[in-house]
A = this chain, B = another copy of it.
Amino acid sequence: MDKAQAVAGIGLFAGLGAKELAALAGIAEVRRFGRGEDIFFSGDPAEGFFSVASGKVRIYQTSLAGKEHIVHVFGPGEVFAEVAVFAGGVYPASAQALEAGDYLFFPRERFRRLLADDPDLALNMLGLLSMRLRQLVKKLEDLSLREVPARLAAHLLLLGAESKKKLLSLDLPKGQLAAYLGTIPETLSRVLRRFADDGLISLSGSAIEILDAGRLEALAAGTAAGTPPFGPAAR
């Protein structure tokens, strides 16, 4: 793979000059991870951050009891673990490749040196961190004040908005999606079924079609108590 090209495709580096990009490419190390391979674990010393050239990573946390929660999933062009650069110490969560792919690693100190000379880069980084913060606050809200059906509804609508087609395929295997929504596969499965039974969606294999976006939105917004059990249909 072409390192320079990969660097140029990173959103965080948008708007930077050719010289800066070259410098960044200079300090980046290519690393390849296979499907399911661990990139780092929560608690590992944080020595730099990564970007995805190809593939998909999940950032996740585990409890001692073995439960997992997926904080975020990143794809090509995105960076992750950038928190390592400024607040040193250890990674606050684990990262694992969901699909095989190439990643770039930017070592902390060398990156900081580039940053000092490049106000644009610093600005971009500030924007990125702010966006992340915003997302996390949103996720916190979901987790603490919304129930699973509402979270799922919101996620489906999001997927629907991204792919303009009505018929959408999940971006993650269902088990992973469950962990992303802060629940377990069994519950996800049941809620999907309930949505289908109530005519909100249609399930055909792993593809999902949104039948009633309006009701889904109501569900996503309010708490489950929009209409009695769910839809207007008798139970």
Contacts from A to B (Cβ < 8 Å): 61-65, 67-69, 71, 82-83, 85-87, 92-93, 115-116, 119, 122-123, 125-127, 129-134, 136-141, 143-146, 182, 221-223, 225
A61-B145 contact given A92-B134, A136-B140, CB 8 Å threshold: yes
Q: Are B140 and A71 in contact (CB under 8 A)?
A: yes
Contacts of A132 in B (CB 8 A): 133
Tallying the copies of this chain within the complex gives: 2
The distance in angstroms between the C-alpha atoms of A223 and B64, with both chains bound, is 7
Contact residues of A: prevailing secondary structure = helix
- Complex contact A130–B223 (CB within 8 A): no
Which B residues are CB-close (under 8 A) to A85?
Answer: 126, 130
Give the 8 A-B residue pairs with the shortest CB-CB distance, closest first: A87-B130, A63-B145, A86-B130, A129-B129, A69-B144, A136-B136, A65-B223, A61-B141
List 12 other contacts, CB 8 Å, given A83-B133, A92-B137, A140-B140: A61-B140, A61-B144, A65-B222, A65-B225, A69-B144, A71-B137, A86-B130, A86-B131, A87-B134, A115-B123, A132-B133, A133-B136
